[in-house]
Chains A and B, each alone.
Chain A
Amino acid sequence: MSDREKKKAPLQYSLFDGLFQGRQGVLLGLFTLFLIFLAIFPFLSFASGFWLNTLTLILLLAAMAIGWNFIGGYTGYAAFGNVAFFGFGAYGTGLSMTKLGLSFFPSLLIGALAAMLFAIVMGLPILRLKGHYFAIATVAIATAMGEIADSWTSFTGGAAGITLPFFDPIEWSGQFFYYMSLLLAVGGLLLTWFILNRKMGYSWIAIREDEDAANMMGINTTWAKVMAFALSALMAGLAGGIYAYWKTFVLAEEVFKIEYTLQMILAAVLGGTGTIFGPFIGAFIYYILITLLVFFLPVGQLHATILGTIIILVMVFTPKGLMDFISGRKKISINSLLENIRTYRV
């Protein structure tokens, strides 16, 4: 982004954005109710395997979106390659389980650490890039990693992939992976809250608002940026590891596909970037929208068009996400919807 644009863009976020503002009591209460609902969900009578499966996917997406929010939302770096960390987590976990013969939890840890390490090694050089250049460098790295994993037959199994053992006992695998994902997503929320109350959180937001100024104020911007990148890799890496064991196989074309990056960004944007709960809620909104489109509406093969149209509408009318409306910072009205256009059109 050029300096000129930055000056024109108003200060959009404050630290206590989102649910912790204003009517926090009621909203937090409602959210807690929702979490309780999620916690007891597998015991409800209508919780079929299908819905457990769908919710597990949503929670994994939420966890990744929460991770993306660190670098993309708070620090303001448009990272478009976070799926690389998902892939690293999946392959790290899969290879540790099959080649080293470790059990799931140590393997998951190895996978997540591999993802973090990769983020640090890559982050040091590419986090010096700005705007579009950073964005495309992340896409390039993720795509290249996927291709290398897909053709490095002797190490990753190549296009034949890695086959993992089943979770034992198999009857409880649905519940096991559901709770793992729930734990990860809720852990991500706590992590966000924890960091925001530390110096790190202030550093991130300072970098987003004006990196040069942050530097002059004595903030170690390199350290802060790399930490944001590494923590988002941690979330995606853990999600990738859980996903690999859940699906019982790792294939490069599945775990490195760019759709996952887009899904996490969309979830964060729909809910609201740079807010604590935005990515979590956004993941639910996004996925339920998709599920309804695919399964319950007779739109059949056009659902991608509808999804695209929704993204376009959101980008044009409310690119800050729905969090602004939920938290009461904005009223839903023609004026508030047109505000975005008034600010940014030529």
Chain B
Amino acid sequence: MIDAAELRRRTAELLAAHPPATTERLDFLRARFDAGLAWVHYPEGLGGLGAPRSLQVVVDAELEAAGAPDNDPRRIGIGLGMAAPTILKYGTEEQKQRYLRPLWTGEEVWCQLFSEPGAGSDLAALGTRAVREGDDWVVNGQKVWTSSAHIARWAILIARTDPGLPKHAGITYFLCDMTDPGVEVRPLRQITGEAEFNEVFLTDVRIPDSRRLGEIGDGWKVAQTTLNNERVAIGGMRLPREGGMIGPVSKTWRERPELRTHDLHQRLLQLWVDAEVSRLTAERLRQQLVAGQPGPEGAGMKLAFARLNQEISGLEVELRGEEGLLYDDWTMRRPELVDFVGRDAGYRYLRSKGNSIEGGTSEVLLNIVAERVLGLPSEPRTDKDVAWKDLSR
């Protein structure tokens, strides 16, 4: 059994063999992966040691103290948080060996080709088609709201392989090469003025069958692993007091007494309390995970943070008075990272509108809480036993 002491020993060994000060960043990251210290809960040979996930913090702390480079997790969040656990669970040995190492080191960025213009909350209704031709699948369709598509080497893709089956049954999961000539990435400009997302057009993209993940027709089941991990990733952060969106507005309040009004004061205090309580709930969830007793609370964290981010940033725009009439910059830009807290209050206000849509709308998440946590009955379904091709659209 690998314990904290053993991890410290192995981390020290890695640092001795590859001193961060004299080692190229990428060489260090590769060595770290090969030493099983990338994600310790992954299996041996795939960047881990089969150790408890909660012990990762031990390695991270040692490496941070030694000034070792990290893999810039924010830049490769989709790969780390969504593609990797799905490949680990459903990939062939060959696929795991090929994709996980460059994914973790950040050499290869991943994006997610799931949502479509006609399939948002009802993702299983997606219409991108994959047709078998010899050893290949030929894919045609349109995907949308794809962050990182313009820097991605690979994508996780779900497409319809049998339109004659009910919608959940006819989907298959693929790993798509974003450099294929049939893949066209177009920036999708958002209400903030910038294009942090893309739309992706797939025209006769040929994907070899060796890049299918899971069985034909099992794509919906495979995608659940991706989506469950997405929600964990979005909700599971650890914050200090005033660590989120409440930080900037509190700072403005303290530094600019001339902006204060009684109405804003009441609303600010209310939101400050809500933000602090949400932080405590996230901390409680973290303690439950560490203690090995995960609770259903995670399902609610994303809902809470979406509402808080929107209300707090909305308050901040009002607090700024005349300055609230301005916006820092509408220039169309292509940021590599999603930034919720950066830039001005107006940007934060507009960007946070996406928080209740991306990764599952708040309305869908409330359904999930009601049905999976509270055990309430699901909506009557009219689409369950109907072939996808016969659904109304």
Q: Is A bound to B? A: no
Interface residues of A (CB under 8 A from B): none
